[in-house]
Structure formats: C-alpha cells, structure tokens
Structure 1
Amino acid sequence: MTLVLYHSSNYPRKPTSLYKNFIMTFAEKTDATMLERTSSNKENIPNGAEPETLAAVERPDPWGKGHRSLYLMCGLIYLCSTMNGYDGSLMGSINAIPEYQAYYNLGSSGAASTGLVFSIFQIGQMAGALFTWICDWQGRRVPIFGGCLGVVISSIITAVAPNLPTFIGGRFLLSFCSTIATVAAPLYLVEIAPPFYRGTVAGMYNTLYYMGSILATCTIYGANLHISGNLKWRLPLWLQMICPGLVCVGVWFVPESPRWLIGKGRTEEARRIITYYHANGDANHPICDIEMSEISKSLEAEGMTSIQTFFDLRVLFKSPARRYRLMLCMAMAWFGQFSGNNIASYYLPIMLEAVGITSVNTQLLLNIIYALTGWVAASSGARFHDIVGRRKMLTGSCIGMAVCLAIVAATAADFQNNGNLQSSKASIAFIFIFGVVFAFAFTSMQPIYPAEVLSNDQRAKGMAVFQITAGCAGFVNTFAAPIALKNITYWFYVFFVFWDVFEAGFIYFFFVETKGRTLEEMDEVFEAKSPRKASTAPILARYTV
C-alpha cells in the first residue's frame, strides 16, 4: 500500500531512517484505506508533519477493462484540442497562397486586413469565455457537443464565404463555439480521469494542438501541389469540420462527468461511472467510496456555478491570497500567447519569406516540420514538468526563447542587409528551435497551471478570466504582427527578446511551484507571507510499503 505524507516546512527534505521506520511501523499497524487527521489522532504523527490525509490504496490495474475504455473515450475528447491548432496553421498557411490573397484582395488592402482575419479568432475567444457557466448548467457533454457543432457550421460558412466580411464573421462564430468546447473538454477530462493518472491525462490534452496543426499543414501542402484554383485553399476550410464532427457524433457515447452528476443529485449514476472507469468494475474497491466522499464534501462546501452566481466576481479577489492566485492565472494566460509563439504559429510563412524562402511549397513543408517538432517537444515536456518542476521549466524556457529570438533577429538582419545565405539558414534553424523550446515548457502547462493555482471556488470563474486574458494577448499579438513584420522586420523579434527576459524574471520571483503538491496544499502555500518561498519548501516523500 502507499502511504502519503504531505508538505511540512519544519521537516528535512530527506527523511531520516528513524522517520522511515515510523512509516513502516505505521503501515504495518493499520489496514485502513483512508485515515483523516483529526485533533485526537496526532500522537502517532511526527512533530512538524501536517498531513491532510494518509491514504493507503492499492491502485487498480491501469490496463483493466474500465481503464482501457476510459483511454479510448479520452482520446475522442482530445480531438477538441486540435481545433485551435488546426486554425492557427490553416490561416498561416493559406495566407501564403496567392489565390486566397487575390480572391479577398488582401494583397492590396494591406497588413491590417490580414491582421483582422487572424485576430478575430481572439475576439471570438473572449466572447465565448463569458458562456463557460453552461458547463455547470447543462453538464460537460452538452457544451462540448454544442461547441463542436458550431465549429462544423462555421467551417461551412468560411468555406463558401463570397466576400471578406462573411469570411471574418464565420471565423468569429468558429472561435466563439470552439472556445465553449475547449473550456468544457479539459474540465471533463480532469473530472473523469482516475486520480492516480489525472496529471498525465490533463497534460496530454493540450499537446494535441499540434495534431490539428499537422493536419492543417499537410492538407494545404497536398492541395497546393495537386489542386488548382480557389479549391486549393477552400478544401482545407471544408476539412476543418472533421475533428469537431467526430466529437459531435461520439460525445453522446461517453458518460457524463461524475462530479456534475453528484452536484445534480444523481449519485448512483456517478457511482456506477466511478466504479467502472476508475476501479475496473470492482464496486468494493476503496477508491469508489473515497472519490464519492471527496466529491460530495467538495460540492457541499462550494456548490456549483450557475448563471446567477457566475458574474459575482468577488470570490476572485476578496483576499490577498486570492488576488495572488488570480495574478498568476492571468500572467500564465498572457505569457502563453505573448512570448513570440503566436508569430511563428500564424505568420511562419512571412517569417520564412523575410529570410529568403519564397517558394510556397517550401514554406508549407517547413510549416509541417515546425508542427511535428512542436508536438514531440510538448508531449515530452508534459512528463518533464512532474520531474523538473513548473518554475524551472518555465523560467528556462523563457531564457531559451530570448536567446533564440536574439539569434533570429541578428541573422535576419544580416541576410536582409548583406544577403548572407548562411545567416538565412541559421535564422530558419533558430525559428524552429524557438518553437521546440516554447512547446517543451509552455504547451502542456497552459491549461493546467492556472487550474492548479486557483482555489476550488475560483476555478470556473478564474478559467473564464484565463480565456479572456489569453484572447486579449492573442489579439494584440496577431493584429500587430503582420504590420510590425512588414514595417520594422527583424526589430520585432528584438522586442520579444526583452519581453521574454522580463517573463523569466517574473516567473522566478512570483510563480509558485505546484509539482508534487495537492490542491489542498496550495491553499497553505498562498496563505503564507511569501507564497513563492513557501512553494519551494521541502515536501515529505510518498512511500510505498
């Protein structure tokens, strides 16, 4: 069985042999599946230890029938994450196709029109974030279905749009609907996943952004090679409906979130779901009672957000600790969209053209490679966050991005001023290295870190603030980028060099470490005088005995 003892600021990082002997003795003397600390049972707990719970639970087989079914349905929900990735690479790629530029007269209307086509997605994202309360009103499946259905309809509108205003309107609707689905999807995954594997399930979700990116770039690359006329850019717009369409069909075959069911009084239905998917159908497994008890207690204390209470925002900032949490949530939202990454995602062909890559096919092929390298980096980074820690990963990534962009700026300047082909090659290489460095640390944590630092009663509203903040950052970035790249060229990269250095300093001095801590431990961290220092204090290890 596994004995869990949580953080103690008064206990050494490496427990002594005496303390290990205590753990072994304690484990041998109890066969309880869960012991909760009360005022009457402290005599056997070492001085300085403040455990929230002592859990001794044998893990269900992760490859049992219930778990295999769980992984399959999570794979379906993962497809929601492809929508943003598909759109980012789709628009960046078709923007390089002359037929698209000519049809909507974008070449003569200037960079501002191109920026609006891109940035309207962020405006729709901010609007959609105001409707996340639907997740608590109708459950998780309904907004996932409705959002994906809206994306299907929006894809049709953009694919047949006869003029630029219709095209922009379709993109707004697409972003609005996809935001509702992409907020509900990670909520569903966190709540349906077994507690032992929640981190892996949540972290892998956002890495499928790159799957959507790869699908888009491959489609456009093939269409540009083998199709002529306007169909070469309209076909990828039609195909944008495939992944959300699959989710629309399949979402009704997955169970509802057990947390939402318990909140609505449907406890027996929730128990059946937990029993099958978390305990492989073993109704007597301790995890069933533990999860049912914890969810019930949590909902008794916090309740569920409704349309009446959703816009009461006092819970976000009524104490210094809550304001600190909200600040970290908003900072992560802004940094995740404003580190230079959106430029590469949306405007990679323009960046490549600036360093001498003028062939559309070559630009599209490099777009595919960029997405593939990002997916590999993001997937491996999801695991490393639980090994290295959030603060070190994010700080190191910001420093690495600053170095990469400094080299890109220098080599791009050398190519533009002197025509040095070696500088052109170096610039391309470091654009790709920049994407890897960003994806390795930021991609998997973008939806996870804010959820970790927000308290239980802040989380739904805080994630709406996260979406709005990310939308604002993305709007500023994508609207300004084409104008800046056209007028100040490589000096735009220099701006992000200094900004990424600022991000590194901000993360180092203010971000808390969440690796290895329960959400309950984070409550104690934020009540401390210095949350950052408290978060880096030693944690008592988990022992399997």
Structure 2
Amino acid sequence: MYRISNVYVLAAFGTIGGALFGFDVSSMSAWIGTDQYLEYFNHPDSNLQGGITASMSAGSFAGAIAAGFVADHLGRRWSLMIASVIWIIGAVIQCSAQNVAHLVAGRVISGLSVGITSSQVCVYLAELAPARIRGRIVGIQQWAIEWGILIMYLISWGCGKGVAGPSSFRIAWGVQAIPGLVLGLALLFFPESPRWLAGQERWEEALDTLAMLHGKGNRNDPVVQVEFEEVKEAAWIAHEAKDVSFLALFGPRIWKRTLCGVSVQVWQQLLGGNVIMYYTVYVMQSAGMSGDTSLYSSIIQYVLFVVTTGAILPYIDRIGRRLLLLSGAIFCMVLHYATAGTMAVYGNPVDQINGNANLRWELSGAPGKAVIAMAYIFVSVYGFTWAPVGWIYASEVFPLKYRAKGVGLSAAGNWIFNFALAYFVAPAFTNIQWKTYIIFGVFCTVMTFHVFLMYPETAQRSLEEIDMMFDGNVKAWETHKIRGRFDEQVEEQRKHSVVGEDIGDSTHKESA
C-alpha cells in the first residue's frame, strides 16, 4: 500500500489528533453563555458547569494512561486509528444529548480519544521527524489544537446565530465527527514509527521507513545510516531491560526525565492558558463585554493564539526550549498579578452579570478594557511559549523503551490538572473573583525556578543524544552549551561512506 513519506504532510494530517482536543475545548466554551444551551440544560450553576466542562478532561486522563500500553503493543499508528473511532462515537453521543448526564457521557468518551491522541501524536511525530526540525514538526500538534479551538468556536458561533433551539448546539457537536473520520482514513496511508518497528526487531522495515522519510528511499544515505545506527543502539538497550511499568518510570536512571516530562505538562496547565480558553466568555463578560461583543472578543483571542504559535514554529528549534519556557513563565506571572491588581482596585462585587449568577465581580470602562488587553497579551505569550513547547519537550525527554508510557504519563498529568482546573475555575470566578489570578501568578513564579534548575536544553539534538545528556548529569542551565554530535556523525559518514558498507556501525565505533 502507498505510504506518505513527506514529514510535513504526515504532520499536517497527524496533528488532526490535536485538532480534536481543540474542537472539544471550544465546543463547550462557545455555548456556556448562550440562551440555547442554558435553557436546554436548565441553567447549570458554577459547580455543575465546572463538572460538565471537566468531564472531557477526566476521560482524557484515562485515555492518556491507557495510551502507552496500546501504543507499545499495537504501534503508534494503530493506537491513533483506534482513537479516531472512539472520537466519532463520542461526537455522536454529544450530538444526541438529552440531558446533562448524557452530555457528560459523550464528553468523557471523546476525552478518551483526546487522551490517546494528545500523548501519542507527539510521540509518533517525534519518532518520524529528523532532529533538526523535530520541534517545529511536533509543535504543529499545538498549532492544530489552536486551529481546532478557533474553527469549532466559529462553527458554534454560526450555529448559535443561525439556528434556533437545541439544533444549534447539536449541529456543532455533530460536526466534530468529521476530523476524526479524516484522521482515521489518512492513517491508512501513514508509515509506522521506525523506532517502534526497531523495538519489535523489525529491522528491515525500520530501515526502509527511515530511508523513505529521510533519504528519498536510499538506504545507504549517510543521514539514514547514522540515524539507523542510533535507533538500533537505543532498541538494543531497550531489549536488555524488562517490560516497562509505570513504576519503572521512577527508577534510578529515569526519574529525572519523568519529572521533566510530567511537570512540563502540569506547569502548562497551571500557567492558566487552557483555563482561559474554556472560560473566555466569562472573562469578557466580567470585563464589561456583553452579547455578541463578548463573542467577537473571544474570537479575537483565539485568532491571536493561532497566529502567535504559527509565527514561532519556524524558529522554535533555533531559539531553544529553555528560553521560551522561562520567558513565558515570567511574562505570564507579571500579567496574572497585574490582572488581579486591576480587578481588585477597580472592580466591584455584583449579584450577577447579564443574568449569569456565576459571575459576581464586574469591571467597566478603562479598567475592563485593560483586563481584556492583558488577556490578549497573555494568550499571545502562551501561544509563543508554553503552548507548543510543553508538548514538544515531553515528547523528547524519554528514551525509546519508556517513551510511549512516559509521554502517556506526562499527558495524564496534563489532563488530571486540566480536569481539576476546569472544574475549579467556574466556582472560583463566583467565589474568589480576582484572587483566582493571584493563584495562577504564584504557580508561574514557582515554575520559573523549576525550569531554570531542572530542565536541560533538548533543541536540535537527536532523541538518542538527549539520552546521553540526561545520563551525563550535566547541570540544566549549562546544557545549551553542549554541541550536538548528530551533524558531526553525518559529516563523518559522508567522508568514509562506500556503497554496501555498514557505514553507521563504523561511525558509531569511532564516536564511542
């Protein structure tokens, strides 16, 4: 069967899995302020709305935990195909929802799919992409999430304006099945991960796949040979170990990687970005926007999100992971504290806003516009930094044997905190108002120190080089000075290559 070989085309279709996440985010955020949704589901209070919103994250947590086992046994490609089917089922159930329990069931099932795709798409793309562009390829996953958020929000907005009654949100939720169907069909033409194939000792298939992806089918291409030797080395080391359990991720040589992978996903949530995506309508209404104006303002925010991440992707491998993570945490910290201060000084308590009893703190005039402006700046900073880098970094830090389960556990960390925050923020806007931003500001302060002290630089290094860096116990703030060996190996290969010779083996011996 024909297999797609262009890594950018693979990323474009593969990251539809990320778009599924985005679709589910705005499929709720677009409706929580509309009459059709509120009347049909009997005006859920902040606690119930938090539970409805968070139900998808609960399913995603379970899906991310299971994803590593599925991907290790069936392969990266088949795990994503299974997720596509689950997504379609979840969309159908949401579309037909008759009550809150029915809706929650659909969101949990859709969440199972998002948990698998959010963890395994980045694993799959990281194992397909060459080291020099791995960041931008894996980062397309986050960009796809943002496109999914924007597209579903626009679809929901159009349905809300043009269709009366419950049919409005049913159409929008039913449309979600389409990207799942496209992803499932596209995966029929995808190659399996060469690193997974090597882990199964399917050496010829692994070499053929690397040649197709990185050497235009030439198995003797120096780049292909170097990468194949590194893949073989990693696979042999993996086979010497016993089957991996989640407890093994906290073993003596792995726990630092696990801490980095899981914490970067947890910090991405505690930064506050996705929460603002879920409840952007609440933010706009509290700042004095109402009706269509709040919806238009939310659309602007989603557009900024897409534009900023799209702008950074071509440069993300040159800039490096640490600089983006550190600068993002610091800027977001300042914005959270500034937003809290503005709301505390210029806002006032109210019983409700525009009939929504969940919102009890109001600003107007210039202070309200300032809060909206800071929300726009915040989402732009998030789009430039933590939004793409969080997924990239988690996909890079684990060695082959541990990668699927490690990234699965990292994504599970993302989703359990996503669940907690999605549930917490709705009542927080009701009960502690501006103090909500203080909490997120403190999180940003702590993560700044954690990233500086514990996160090594992984940009422009092969996955196998990253293994060596962790094993070498280099201080995190000094790792950006280490020069990668991959390009040196390729150059050495070109100097000594002869047709039919096992070039990669000789290069490996020399570098060792």
Query: Any conservation in 1 of the 2:64–2:411 contact (CA below 8 Å)?
Result: yes
Matches within 5 A, 1:443-482: 443-482=387-426
Q: Alignment partner for residue 510 of structure 1, among 439, 454, 462?
A: 454
Answering whether residue 240 of structure 2 is matched by residue 309 of structure 1, we say: no
Alignment-derived partner of residue 503 in structure 2: none
Alignment-derived partner of residue 412 in structure 1: 343
Give the residue type in structure 2 aligned to 1:207. Answer: W
Return the alpha-carbon distance in structure 2 between the equivalents of residues 264 and 469 of structure 1: 28
Answering whether residue 62 of structure 2 is matched by residue 118 of structure 1, we say: no
Alignment-derived partner of residue 106 in structure 2: 170
Return the alpha-carbon distance in structure 1 between the equivalents of residues 168 and 419 of structure 2: 27
Alignment-derived partner of residue 37 in structure 1: none
Cα drift, residue 81 of structure 1: 0.8
Alignment-derived partner of residue 355 in structure 1: 287
Cα drift, residue 411 of structure 1: 3.0
Give SS of 2:423's match: helix
Give SS of 2:191's match: coil
Query: Any conservation in 2 of the 1:525–1:531 contact (CA below 8 Å)?
Result: no
Give SS of 2:279's match: helix
Query: Any conservation in 2 of the 1:415–1:421 contact (CA below 8 Å)?
Result: no
Query: Any conservation in 2 of the 1:395–1:504 contact (CA below 8 Å)?
Result: yes
Deviations 1:35-59 (A, max 9, x none): xxxxxxxxxxxxxxxxxxxxxxxxx
Return the alpha-carbon distance in structure 2 between the equivalents of residues 272 and 390 of structure 1: 31
Alignment-derived partner of residue 365 in structure 1: 296
Answering whether residue 182 of structure 2 is matched by residue 251 of structure 1, we say: no
Give the residue type in structure 1 aligned to 2:45. Answer: G
Task: Note closer, same or farther for the CA distance 1:262–1:395 as it changes in structure 2 (3 Å cut).
Answer: closer
Answering whether residue 171 of structure 2 is matched by residue 235 of structure 1, we say: yes
Give the residue type in structure 2 aligned to 1:513. Answer: E
Return the alpha-carbon distance in structure 1 between the equivalents of residues 206 and 402 of structure 2: 24
Cα drift, residue 401 of structure 1: 0.7
Give the residue type in structure 2 aligned to 1:313. Answer: L
Give the residue type in structure 1 aligned to 2:479. Answer: S
Q: Alignment partner for residue 322 of structure 2, among 382, 391, 400?
A: 391
Alignment-derived partner of residue 380 in structure 1: 311
Return the alpha-carbon distance in structure 2 between the equivalents of residues 153 and 226 of structure 1: 26
Query: Any conservation in 2 of the 1:66–1:277 contact (CA below 8 Å)?
Result: no
Matches within 5 A, 1:50-199: 69-105=6-42, 107=43, 109-132=44-67, 133-199=69-135
Return the alpha-carbon distance in structure 1 between the equivalents of residues 211 and 106 of structure 2: 43
Task: Note closer, same or farther for the CA distance 1:164–1:334 as it changes in structure 2 (3 Å cut).
Answer: same
Alignment-derived partner of residue 16 in structure 1: none
Give the residue type in structure 1 aligned to 2:245. Answer: F
Alignment-derived partner of residue 257 in structure 2: 325
Return the alpha-carbon distance in structure 2 between the equivalents of residues 517 and 127 of structure 1: 31
Cα drift, residue 500 of structure 1: 1.2
Give the residue type in structure 2 aligned to 1:495. Answer: I
Task: Note closer, same or farther for the CA distance 1:521–1:276 as it changes in structure 2 (3 Å cut).
Answer: closer
Larger radius of gyration: 1
Give the residue type in structure 2 aligned to 1:309. Answer: D
Return the alpha-carbon distance in structure 2 between the equivalents of residues 159 and 251 of structure 1: 25
Query: Any conservation in 2 of the 1:341–1:438 contact (CA below 8 Å)?
Result: yes
Cα drift, residue 419 of structure 1: 5.4
Which stretch has the larger CA shift, 211-220 or 532-541? 532-541
Give the residue type in structure 2 aligned to 1:74. Answer: A
Return the alpha-carbon distance in structure 2 between the equivalents of residues 141 and 517 of structure 1: 24
Matches within 5 A, 1:276-287: 276-287=212-223
Give the residue type in structure 1 aligned to 2:216. Answer: N
Structure 2, gaps ≥5 residues long = 349-361, 496-512
Query: Any conservation in 2 of the 1:329–1:466 contact (CA below 8 Å)?
Result: yes
Q: Alignment partner for residue 207 of structure 2, among 271, 281, 284?
A: 271
Return the alpha-carbon distance in structure 2 between the equivalents of residues 473 and 88 of structure 1: 15
Give percent identity, aligned residues only.
Answer: 24
Query: Any conservation in 1 of the 2:453–2:477 contact (CA below 8 Å)?
Result: no
Comparing both structures, which one devotes a greater share of its residues to helix? 2
Cα drift, residue 516 of structure 1: 4.0
Query: Any conservation in 1 of the 2:31–2:37 contact (CA below 8 Å)?
Result: yes
Aligned residues: 474
Cα drift, residue 96 of structure 1: 1.4
Alignment-derived partner of residue 60 in structure 1: none
Cα drift, residue 440 of structure 1: 0.7
Query: Any conservation in 1 of the 2:194–2:206 contact (CA below 8 Å)?
Result: yes
Give SS of 2:50's match: helix
Answering whether residue 235 of structure 2 is matched by residue 299 of structure 1, we say: yes
Return the alpha-carbon distance in structure 2 between the equivalents of residues 538 and 200 of structure 1: 21
Alignment-derived partner of residue 433 in structure 1: 377
Give the residue type in structure 1 aligned to 2:439. Answer: F
Return the alpha-carbon distance in structure 2 between the equivalents of residues 428 and 118 of structure 1: 23
Deviations 1:185-236 (A, max 9, x none): 2222222334443332122222211110111111012112211111222211
Task: Note closer, same or farther for the CA distance 1:312–1:88 as it changes in structure 2 (3 Å cut).
Answer: closer
Give SS of 2:391's match: coil
Return the alpha-carbon distance in structure 1 between the equivalents of residues 198 and 264 of structure 2: 31
Give the residue type in structure 2 aligned to 1:510. Answer: M
Return the alpha-carbon distance in structure 1 between the equivalents of residues 201 and 259 of structure 2: 34
Cα drift, residue 68 of structure 1: 7.0
Task: Note closer, same or farther for the CA distance 1:304–1:122 as it changes in structure 2 (3 Å cut).
Answer: farther
TM-score (structure 2 length as normaliser): 0.86
Alignment-derived partner of residue 342 in structure 1: 274
Return the alpha-carbon distance in structure 1 between the equivalents of residues 477 and 326 of structure 2: 16
